[in-house]
């Protein structure tokens, strides 16, 4: 299933939501060498995303096609809930934004991915 970002129609839009900027005093201290060009640079924010997209889709390169426009930065943490139907086959994914493409798409690091299935 394709990602329906912030530019999708109002009945389809399902962008991730920023929960917090990060722990007080910790934003911008991730130590990443590929920080975006903005002052203070690196991530530390927490994002939530809920969808029927598979966890393998969510960690696919450039999945969040409007990540830069939303404010995602390398080092941001993304918690995603994936479900096939309400109350059935629910998975939690935790990942870290590893890059923002020149087109503005955010990619999660597959090396940082942690998943758990709840019954």
- On whether residue 67 sits in a domain, the answer given is yes
Domain of 108, in residue numbers: 17-24+42-118
pLDDT at 47: 94
- On whether residue 7 sits in a domain, the answer given is no
pLDDT at 46: 93
Angle in degrees, CA 59, 44, 84, rounded to 5: 30
pTM over 0.85? The answer is no
The token pair at 105 is: 């798409």
pLDDT, one tens digit per residue, over 62-119 is 999 999 999 998 889 999 988 876 666 778 888 899 899 999 999 998 776 676 665 5
Rounded mean pLDDT, 36-59: 76
pLDDT, one tens digit per residue, over 16-33 is 999 988 654 454 444 544
- On whether residue 103 sits in a domain, the answer given is yes
In this structure, are residues 57 and 102 in contact, taking their beta carbons and an 8 Å threshold?
no
- On whether residue 105 sits in a domain, the answer given is yes
- On whether residue 60 sits in a domain, the answer given is yes
- Find residue 93's DSSP bridge partners: 80, 115
| Whole-angstrom distance, CA of residue 9 vs CA of residue 89 | 27
- On whether residue 35 sits in a domain, the answer given is no
- On whether residue 11 sits in a domain, the answer given is no
Q: Tell me how many domains the chain contains.
A: 1
């Amino acid at each position: 299933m394709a990602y329906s970002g912030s530019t999708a129609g109002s009945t389809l839009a399902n962008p991730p939501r920023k929960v917090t900027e990060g722990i007080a005093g910790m934003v911008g201290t991730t130590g990443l060498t590929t920080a975006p060009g903005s002052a203070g640079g690196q991530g530390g924010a927490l994002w939530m995303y809920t969808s029927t997209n598979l966890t393998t889709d969510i960690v696919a390169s450039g999945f969040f096609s409007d990540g830069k426009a939303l404010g995602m930065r390398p080092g941001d943490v993304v918690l995603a809930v994936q479900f096939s139907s309400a109350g059935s086959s629910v998975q939690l994914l935790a990942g870290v934004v590893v890059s923002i493409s020149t087109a503005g798409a955010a990619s999660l690091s597959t090396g940082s991915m942690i998943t758990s299935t709840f019954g």
